[in-house]
């Protein structure tokens, strides 16, 4: 299977910026989340489907590399690309300027499956993920 990805367009709202008109660093995680939701929905395994399948998938690691400032009113593209899925969801992110394509921010998140009933960490991804991705284990 080739890597799955999804891209969403976002116009930076005023409430996301600091007094200099630059996006506050914590909001990049929100932009990643918007792209991640689009990615998960693309293979019908969004958060509601995860819960319905009996698993939670908490983010256990977040890394952000700030390359260039993002500003109020700027139109950006947030891309999420699924890199690994066998033992965790490892997702790469890239935020670019929608007009120029300039790289603005990149990052990664890791999510692991947790059994909803037992609250135990799964050491491998559950079969439902492979089914949704259309891949064999």
70: its two tokens: 């993002």
pLDDT at 2 over 70: no
Among residues of the chain, what percentage have pLDDT more than 70? Answer: 98
* Separate counts of helices (H) and strands (E) for the chain: 3, 7
Q: Which domains does the chain have, with CATH numbers?
A: 4-133 (3.10.129.10)
- Phi and psi at residue 52, to the nearest 5°: -60, -30
pLDDT band at 136 (very low <50, low <70, confident <90, very high): confident
Q: What is the DSSP letter of 87?
A: S
Interior angle at CA 62, CA 49 and CA 27, nearest 5:
85
pLDDT band at 3 (very low <50, low <70, confident <90, very high): low
How much is the mean pLDDT over the chain? 95
Note the pTM of the prediction, 2 decimals. 0.94
Beta bridge partners of 110: 61, 90
Average pLDDT for 9-35: 97
CA distance 108 to 92: 4
pLDDT band at 1 (very low <50, low <70, confident <90, very high): very low
Average pLDDT for 8-12: 98
80: its two tokens: 């999420």
pLDDT at 137 over 80: no
pLDDT at 99 over 60: yes
3-state secondary structure of 88: coil
CA distance 118 to 27: 32
pLDDT attached to residue 101: 98
User: In the block, which residue shows the tokens 């300039």?
Assistant: 102
């Amino acid at each position: 299977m080739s890597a799955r990805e999804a891209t969403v367009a976002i116009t930076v709202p005023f409430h996301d910026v600091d007094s200099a008109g630059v996006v506050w660093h914590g909001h990049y995680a929100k932009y990643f989340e918007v792209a991640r939701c689009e990615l998960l929905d693309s293979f019908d395994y969004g958060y509601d489907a995860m819960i319905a399948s009996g698993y939670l998938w908490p983010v256990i690691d977040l890394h952000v590399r700030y390359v260039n400032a993002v500003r109020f009113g700027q139109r950006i593209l947030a891309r999420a690309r699924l890199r690994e899925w066998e033992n965790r969801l490892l997702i790469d992110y890239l935020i670019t300027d929608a007009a120029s394509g300039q790289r603005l921010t990149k990052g990664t998140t890791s999510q692991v499956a947790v059994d909803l009933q037992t609250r135990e960490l799964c050491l491998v991804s559950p079969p439902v993920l492979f089914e949704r991705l259309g891949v064999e284990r």
